[in-house]
Amino acid sequence: MEFPKFLLGDNTDFPTAIFVIHTEFPRFIINLENDEVEWLEEFSKEDEKELEDEAENLIEAATVFYDREVVRYEE
């Protein structure tokens, strides 16, 4: 099964949180309410430097995705 690169998620246990799930490597979930990121991968020390460089771009892309989806819902 193929998934989109990003998915939106919510949960009634977290009524004010909006989650964006990144489904490609490196997989993560970001809570847009507080910008907390949970990585769903384990990284070696060597990978951590590359991850730091890429994380900012991925998180920005997740936010752009969310903003785009909100506009589409409002149309």
pLDDT confidence of residue 8? 96
Q: pLDDT band at residue 19, thresholds of 50, 70 and 90? A: very high
Query: Residue 72 region, left (φ>0) first, then alpha (ψ -120 to 50), else beta?
Result: alpha
Q: Is residue 47 part of a domain?
A: yes
Q: Is residue 66 part of a domain?
A: yes
Q: Is residue 60 part of a domain?
A: yes
Q: pLDDT band at residue 32, thresholds of 50, 70 and 90? A: very high
Residue with tokens 């920005």: 60
pLDDT confidence of residue 44? 84
Range of the domain at 13: 6-74
pLDDT confidence of residue 56? 87
pLDDT confidence of residue 58? 92
Q: Is residue 1 part of a domain?
A: no
Percent of the chain surpassing pLDDT 70: 100
